[in-house]
Structure 1
Amino acid sequence: MVIASHAHFAAGISEALSFLGGGAGVDIKVICAFVDGKNDIAQAVADTLAEIPAEDEVLVCTDIFGGSVNNEFTNVVQQRENIHLVTNMNLPLLISLLFSINEPDLAAAIRAAVSTDEVRPKYCNDELAALNADDEDF
Structure 2
Amino acid sequence: MKKILVASHGHLAGGVKSVAKILLHDDSAITAVNCYVDESDPGEKIRAFIDGVEPQDEALIFTDLLGGSVCNMVTAMRPERKGIIHVTGFNLAVILKCLISTDRLTPEAIDSIIGTASTLMKRIELSDAPTEESDAEEEDGFFM
Q: TM-score, normalised by structure 1?
A: 0.75
Within the alignment, does 1:27 sit opposite 2:29 as a pair? Answer: yes
Q: 1:75 to 1:17 in 2, by over 3 A?
A: same
Name the amino acid aligned to 2:121. Answer: P
Shift of 1:75: 1.9
Q: Which runs of 5+ in 2 are unaligned?
A: 130-144
Name the amino acid aligned to 1:27. Answer: A
Shift of 1:64: 0.8
Sequence identity percentage: 28
Residue 137 (structure 2) aligns with? none
RMSD: 2.4
Structure 2 Cα separation of the partners of residues 6 and 34 of structure 1: 6
Name the amino acid aligned to 2:37. Answer: V
SS in 1 for 2:86: strand
Structure 1 Cα separation of the partners of residues 123 and 14 of structure 2: 26
Q: Which runs of 5+ in 1 are unaligned?
A: 133-138
Aligned length: 125
Which protein shows a greater Rg?
A: 2
Report if the CA contact (8 A) 2:50-2:79 is conserved.
no
Structure 2 Cα separation of the partners of residues 45 and 11 of structure 1: 14
Structure 1 Cα separation of the partners of residues 105 and 13 of structure 2: 26
Report if the CA contact (8 A) 2:58-2:105 is conserved.
no
Report if the CA contact (8 A) 1:2-1:28 is conserved.
yes
Residue 51 (structure 2) aligns with? 50
Shift of 1:122: 1.0
Report if the CA contact (8 A) 1:62-1:69 is conserved.
yes
Q: TM-score, normalised by structure 2?
A: 0.73
Within the alignment, does 1:94 sit opposite 2:95 as a pair? Answer: yes
Runs of 4+ aligned structure 1 residues displaced above 6 Å come to none
